[in-house]
Structure 1
Amino acid sequence: MAIADPDRPPTSADLAICTVVFGHSTFLGRSLVSSLLSSGRWTARVADTLPPPSPGPIHPDLASYCHVDVTDPSSLRSAVAGAVAVFLVDPLPSFPSRPPVGDFPRLHELSVIAAKSLISACRQSGVRRLVYTGSADVVFDGENDVCDADESLPYPDAYEDAINELRMQVEVLVLSANGMDDLLTCALRPSIIFGPEDPYFVHFIVKEARSGIAKFVIGNGKNICDCTYIDNVVHANLSVESALSSSPASVAGKPFFITNDEPVELWEFISYILENLGYKRPTFHIPAKLVLLVISLLKRVGDKLNGGVSSHVLSAATVHTLSSSRTFDCSKAKNQFGYSSIVSFQKGLDLTVKSLPRLEDLGNSQETRSEADRMLGSGVVADILLWRDEKKTFALVVTLFVLFYWLFLSGKTFVASSARILMVVCLSLFIHGILPSQMFGFNLKKIPSSCFEVSESTMRCIFLTLASLWNQGILAMRLLAQGDDWSIFFKAAGSLYLIKLLLQIPISVLAGVGLTCLFSVFIIYEQCEEEINKLKEVAIIGFEISKETLIARLQKFFAKNA
């Protein structure tokens, strides 16, 4: 509908009306509403299940808000009444976010039930065009790579991720409704939407970077994926709606892949974002099968605790998504309705990272530190054992395992191996001492004598600690001799029995297990702190109950025989 006077601002009387469902509760919905209002062609009605946003729409004269109940057909009919076009935006969490299992009924209601109600409302209200934006992952089964797929690729027989199965059901409903009561429909399949204020993909990267997981690459890191900048998805929505109006035969009832048409290595994309946030690139590769095994074990533990695995732990679907290749051919969209990416991948990436806070702005306060970090003193030791300083950690790992081999696996006795190490150390120190401060024009850094000195305060602390341990031991022996404290007895008996068991194990095995645990237990605890704490609480409660029961029985036994 043409605007009467180009010199005055457009009003609702001049423009066609459209409805954007889930317009402000989703990343794409907000961008789509903004672009529609800026186009000078539409007045928009935002239909959402959430309360109105604050601040309100860009242009209050060109946009209105409708709070809808997706299970109430009359609510949706009022939202789409008078609209010539409706844009249905996928409300489900995008890659790689995964909602808790208990949210599935609500997600089914927001997607499948809402789509059925909306299609019925559009048909009854005389809406002419319905554009649904879902996801390219409707053709991804969750495990097998998808390479350069076009729209002829069928839906998989089974989905690992229930979210993608819900999207598939919505897409089928929308496309099947094409031609009913003069309603024209089509579906867009964007792949990994990103951009400024992205609450899903970029937010996931920032969250995992702060937790430490982003130091690791899942899989070989060479998987190729198509990513789509948010403005290109919005542009595809406007273009396909125009095609539904002018040449419906070419697009009606069809799905279309939408990408930036610039496939990239997914982990290179993630690394670029991390670097621009101030974090280091992930360098350690973990086999996807190993991660899946750990997730399976954690899930079993969580099921035993009746709590499941917390949402911050990677799911199997997320692991497969991060380690699989998924590329799509958007030639059909180019040919049928003239789609092309209006923002290049690199420009979109630069705009995205420019909108993100730097590392120093994210805040690493004491409250955000993990329990493992606090246990290790939040210093150099924590940085090494939690793999935050990869160079120091790797150097220490290599050094300790070389010593382990030399002392226990070289075939020599422990005393002989230790003597040789001490001899090498003494010889190295002597040679270092006689070397000049400069050789061949290079300055040699000398070890200061203070490195070989122990301060009086340090020695005092050491002896005070030893004295405290001695006094605690004497006190425990005194309580044992009095025979009144059963807790002390069980602690002492348990400790002695544990020492007896450890003495039966070869020292080489103990040292090897100890070194392995030293560089794995703390980082596992940091990543799975919630599950381990739950397990610890259950174990402590069980132990206390067993101890109290045993003590009560022993007291009765001794009372009877007294």
Structure 2
Amino acid sequence: MATAEPGPSSTGAPRKPTCVVTFGRSTLLGRHLAAALAASGRWSAVAVLDPSPSSSPPPPPAPPASQLVYHLAVDLSDPAAIVSALTGAAAVFHVDPTSAASSDGSFLSLHRVAVEGTRRLLAVCRVLRVGRVVYTGSADVVAAGARDVVNSDEDSTPYPDKFGNAVSELRAQVEMMVLAADGVDGMRTCVLRPSNLFGPRDSTLVRFVAGYARSSFGKFVIGSGRNMSDFTYVENVAHANICAEQALSSNAASVAGKTFFVTNDEPIETWEFMNCIMEAMGCQRPRINLPAKMLLFAALFSNMIHHRLGFQMLSTPLLHPDTIYFLSCTRTFNTSKARRLLGYYPIVSLEDGIMRTVGSFSELPDNFGLSRQQGSCGSSKADRLLGSGTAADILLWRDEKRTFSYVTVLFLLFYWFLLSDRTFISSAAKILLVISFALFIHGVLPPQVFGFTVEKVTSDYFEVSHSALRNSLMCLASAWNGGIRKLRVLAEGDDWSILLKVLAFLYSIKLMLNFQFRVLVGLVLASLFIVFIVYEQCEEEIDSFFTMASVKIKWLADRVVGNLPASLKAYIS
């Protein structure tokens, strides 16, 4: 039985028709669409059909419009409740059921809400002679696989032979049901396909970006980073719904039974959009490129294992083929059909939409698992350990060209001094001879050579500043004083932890001395450019492992000490 919040009272027949919005509380689009319909002045009442309360407050409409919107707690599995809710409605705006927050995520639940619920809704619309139905799905139903979709229109982009996930397949089924219902019992229908819907209090696309930022892939760009995508601000999609309903009312022959791509009509690099959201969360821009084909192979393998074990992958985890395609492929759509037949034009620019979305982050609790102060998007421990300066930028691969240059120079020096058959003094003399000769040639060159400016090397390049020298000496003195303090504590014989640390340090030195010096230096150089970046990407996992290991070691030490005689136990404690 449908339960309703107090709706608008009327004395007599309303002068304006009423409309219905499905999932107008539990979806981003539904909340904004209900507010836009109420503010349009076209409807005497806007009924919001949603079985669950909203996870976030609706956008505030104008005070007169807010009185037009009322909520009906209607489940689409109850035909009688749907009949009661739709009685007298002239139009139904059906929002993508798979994006409803009330779904528990299982395939059966999504199928029941999306396919079976839409079937019941359309059947009731036919019985009650509802004139117009506008369904808003997603452009993802026709964008699947590794192929690029570049400025594609509705006629040249059919459904794929195989859908990447169950959600896209369910959306396609709902689309086909809505289009097939057009013209039956006088009902006219059409379908809108927004691309990458986003907006304030978004819990889908923005949540995905937040999940990517805090994941182990957060520092990496998948693919070249130059692929383009269309992103659509939620108010533009709400405006497109209003345009579609009006077109069905005035020009049904040209609009009914058709699909329309809806975007901001401002294609942007996918990673530029991601970076804008990440930076608003306090995260650093990813700079290291990973080959998409390598990750796609891993994703396909993971997907195959998932299906072999009998699990259905409904969502899009980070290591999923559809996620790799979205992050590395171009997906742009042509909106000329919607402009021509619906009269749709974006009312909010992409830049303004991003700014509004970013501005809403301060209104949210930490829904995305990101702490804006000390969370995973702030300065990492590896960055702080390296001083958050030039060394951190080089060893954490934030500037690939610069890091590669240093790796190349260090490898050449390593080869020159340690891998060649010359002695160290001979290698140093030869490299100084080469440097001296190169500097002399550089000094005699004219300021212009074949149109290129030759920058002269001044004496400042070879001078060490007093502050740098003083800091180096202070660091050396601090290290010496720290060592002396450790020796003093060790000589007092009261701190067993210091003794164990010294023994472990000396034993590691002994193990390292077993290697040849050139092998040891090579391992150190290689580890410098590997260990820190690995620690930064897997910081939480490594910290949790060492925390668990320290707890186990402490438990084992306490157990060993507990079994010692009382005299030894008193001496140790």
**Matched residue of 2:72: which SS?**
strand
2:449 alignment partner in structure 1: none
Give the counterpart letter for 2:483 in structure 1.
I
**Matched residue of 1:84: which SS?**
strand
Shift in Å, 1:85: 0.9
**Matched residue of 1:155: which SS?**
coil
Does the 8 A contact of 2:233 with 2:348 survive in 1? yes
Q: 1:314 to 1:236 in 2, by over 3 A?
A: same
Q: Within 1, Cα distance between the matches of 2:278 and 2:548?
A: 36
Identify the match of residue 428 of structure 2 among 420, 426, 431: 420
Q: Within 1, Cα distance between the matches of 2:393 and 2:372?
A: 15
Q: 1:184 to 1:199 in 2, by over 3 A?
A: same
Shift in Å, 1:61: 3.5
1:324-473 map, 5 Å: 324-357=329-362, 363-366=371-374, 368-369=375-376, 373-374=380-381, 376=382, 378-380=384-386, 398-399=405-406, 402-408=409-415, 411-413=419-421, 416=424, 420=428, 446-448=465-467, 449-450=469-470, 451-454=472-475, 458-463=479-484, 471-472=499-500
Does the 8 A contact of 2:29 with 2:95 survive in 1? yes
Identify the match of residue 173 of structure 1 among 156, 177, 193: 177
State the aligned residue count: 499
Q: 1:249 to 1:473 in 2, by over 3 A?
A: closer
Give the counterpart letter for 1:164 in structure 2.
S
Give the counterpart letter for 1:471 in structure 2.
L
In the alignment, structure 1 residue 62 sits paired with structure 2 residue 68: yes
Q: Within 2, Cα distance between the matches of 1:132 and 1:255?
A: 9
Give the counterpart letter for 1:229 in structure 2.
Y
1:141-152 map, 5 Å: 141-152=144-155
Q: Within 2, Cα distance between the matches of 1:261 and 1:389?
A: 37
Shift in Å, 1:163: 2.0
2:261 alignment partner in structure 1: 257
1:119 alignment partner in structure 2: 122
Q: Within 2, Cα distance between the matches of 1:157 and 1:378?
A: 50
* Structure 2: stretches of 5+ with no match in the other structure: 1-9, 437-457, 491-495, 556-573
Q: Within 2, Cα distance between the matches of 1:370 and 1:105?
A: 36
* Structure 1: stretches of 5+ with no match in the other structure: 1-8, 429-438, 477-491, 545-562
Identify the match of residue 112 of structure 2 among 103, 109, 112: 109
Give the counterpart letter for 1:120 in structure 2.
A
Give the counterpart letter for 1:189 in structure 2.
R
Q: 1:418 to 1:171 in 2, by over 3 A?
A: farther
Shift in Å, 1:278: 6.3
In the alignment, structure 1 residue 218 sits paired with structure 2 residue 222: yes
**Matched residue of 2:190: which SS?**
strand
**Matched residue of 1:452: which SS?**
helix
Identical positions, percent:
36
2:200 alignment partner in structure 1: 196
Q: Within 1, Cα distance between the matches of 2:17 and 2:193?
A: 26
1:489 alignment partner in structure 2: none
Shift in Å, 1:232: 2.0
Q: Within 1, Cα distance between the matches of 2:306 and 2:497?
A: 38
What is the CA RMSD across the aligned residues, in angstroms?
A: 5.2
Q: 1:323 to 1:248 in 2, by over 3 A?
A: same
Q: Within 1, Cα distance between the matches of 2:84 and 2:301?
A: 50
2:19 alignment partner in structure 1: 18
Q: 1:418 to 1:369 in 2, by over 3 A?
A: farther
- CA displacement 1:488-536 (0-9 Å, x = unmatched): xxxx9xx99x989988x9557745653453244213414xx56996999
- CA displacement 1:304-357 (0-9 Å, x = unmatched): 999999987453311211211112222222222322223333444444445555
Shift in Å, 1:284: 2.9
Q: 1:447 to 1:162 in 2, by over 3 A?
A: farther
TM-score normalised by L of structure 1: 0.71
Q: Within 2, Cα distance between the matches of 1:11 and 1:228?
A: 41
1:130 alignment partner in structure 2: 133
Shift in Å, 1:268: 3.1
1:45 alignment partner in structure 2: 47
Q: Within 2, Cα distance between the matches of 1:12 and 1:418?
A: 103
Give the counterpart letter for 2:26 in structure 1.
S
Q: Within 1, Cα distance between the matches of 2:120 and 2:34?
A: 22
Give the counterpart letter for 2:48 in structure 1.
V
Shift in Å, 1:202: 3.6
Identify the match of residue 79 of structure 1 among 85, 102, 109: 85
Does the 8 A contact of 2:287 with 2:398 survive in 1? no
Report which stretch shifted further, 459-468 or 338-347.
459-468
Does the 8 A contact of 1:408 with 1:414 survive in 2? no
TM-score normalised by L of structure 2: 0.70
Shift in Å, 1:223: 1.5
**Matched residue of 1:88: which SS?**
strand
1:6 alignment partner in structure 2: none
Shift in Å, 1:65: 0.8
Report which stretch shifted further, 515-524 or 411-420.
411-420
Q: Within 1, Cα distance between the matches of 2:542 and 2:87?
A: 50
Q: 1:138 to 1:303 in 2, by over 3 A?
A: closer
Q: 1:372 to 1:346 in 2, by over 3 A?
A: closer
1:478-489 map, 5 Å: none
Give the counterpart letter for 1:198 in structure 2.
D
Q: Within 2, Cα distance between the matches of 1:190 and 1:274?
A: 23
